[in-house]
Copies of this chain bind each other. A is one copy, B any other.
Amino acid sequence: MKLASLKQGRDGKLVVVSNDLAWYADAGHIVATLQAALDDWDRLLPDLQNLATDLEHEMIPMRRFHEHDAAAPLPRAYQWADGSAYVNHVALVRQARGAEMPETFWHDPLMYQGGSDGFLGPRDAIPLADDSWGCDLEAEVVVVTGDVPMGASREEALAAVRLVGLTNDVSLRNLIPGELAKGFGFFQSKPASAFSPVFVTPESLGDWWRDGKLHRRLMVDLNGQPFGRAEAGVDMTFDFGTLIAHAAKTRKLGAGTIIGSGTVSNRDSDGGPGKSIAAGGVGYSCLAEVRTVETITGGAAVTPFLKAGDTVRIWAEDDKRHPIFGVIEQVVAAE
């Protein structure tokens, strides 16, 4: 089952979307918003699934689904916690600045508390007030959880995964060093993230969802050129069950919590830093990583950060090359 929120008010209007993303059916007679559905998931799920089945069979009134009419599936959320599960990415960034990465990073997940009071829709522009902030994309996989009790095991945490989707976790790289030096984590350096047009139940993903990971390539284009084709199921040191359990260690998590994988990143086949797609590699899921590789291999970063007018495209494909979650496609806009 695929769910989306059409733009309407602060929380959108919940719709069920056909598998091919061509059609939608209004879910308003069942529940008004995705958050309300997550709040009462077990009771509402059968009705939503029946609606999805009827939609696939074209047995009910249906309308064309246009991704540009979609808000983020949760236009605002009560929690957005982003991990950094592709430790390869972290190791590279450390290597580039000559810093040792603690060995514990391979066992103890990194996670930060993100802002969740307002997200960007999949076609919304990225508002950027100042080019010098160093605007970057970060292509990631996300899951949405139901209620998770404090101290949940990895298995309990995995069982609480309700939906899977993608995000562009916009980052302002040049604000990060100053913020991290203050010791309190990210704040100004993490403006609103954008999410894929639809989120999908894990059951609908079949074999692509296993071991708490999404086993599909994460496609990233930058200004119309292929930029990243990393496998989301590869080199993910911490699966989503482990990430959710980490988040729930000292407190329960409320339904509708969004947990992110962190920037997807694959090691190069020769073990070195990843190559660009032009050079035969799988490319990158953020500009910071290519700049890091440039620093390691050439002494200095060459690729610039995003500026007004740049476009970012993020998606994942099924075996027929159709987008599974729809497409995040954003232009950077001077504010």
Please report A residues at the B interface, Cβ cutoff 8 Å: 10, 39, 76-79, 81, 84, 102, 105, 108, 110-118, 127, 129, 133, 150-151, 172, 175, 180, 182-192, 246-247, 249-257, 335
Set B79, B150, B186, B250: member contacting A185, Cβ < 8 A: B186
Q: Is the CB of B111 within 8 A of A184?
A: yes
Copies in the complex: 2
CB-nearest residue of chain B to A180: B183
Quick check: A250 and B184 within 8 Å, CB to CB? no
Tell me if A118 and B249 are in contact (CB < 8 A). no
Q: Which residue of B lies closest to A254 (CB)?
A: B117
Bound Cα distance from A151 to B254, whole angstroms: 30
Across the interface, A115 reaches (CB within 8 A) one of B113, B185, B255, namely B113
Q: How far is the CA of A116 from the CA of B113 in the complex (A)?
A: 10
Measured between alpha carbons, how far is A222 from B297 in the docked complex, in Å?
A: 58
Given A111-B187, A112-B187, A113-B115, A76 contacting B78 (CB threshold 8 A): yes
- Tell whether, in the assembled complex, residue A251 and residue B191 are in contact, meaning their CB atoms are under 8 Å apart: yes
Would you give the shortest CB distance from A96 to chain B, in whole angstroms?
Answer: 15
Cα–Cα, bound, A111→B249 (Å) = 23
Inter-chain contact B335/A150, CB cutoff 8 Å: yes
Q: How far is the CB of A167 from chain B (nearest CB, A)?
A: 15
A247–B188 CA distance with the chains assembled, in angstroms: 7
Contact, CB under 8 Å: A172 / B133: no
Q: Could you pull out 25 A-B pairs where Cβ atoms are within 8 angstroms?
A: A10-B254, A10-B255, A76-B78, A78-B78, A79-B117, A81-B115, A102-B182, A105-B182, A110-B184, A112-B187, A113-B185, A113-B190, A115-B251, A117-B253, A117-B256, A118-B253, A118-B254, A127-B150, A129-B151, A175-B250, A184-B185, A185-B185, A185-B186, A191-B250, A191-B251
Contact of A188 among B118, B180, B250 (CB under 8 A): B250
Q: Given A77-B78, A185-B186, do A250 and B117 touch, yes or no (CB 8 Å)?
A: no
Residue of B nearest to A149 (CB): B335
CA distance A36 to B256 in the complex (A): 18
Query: A31 CA to B246 CA in the complex, in Å?
Result: 37
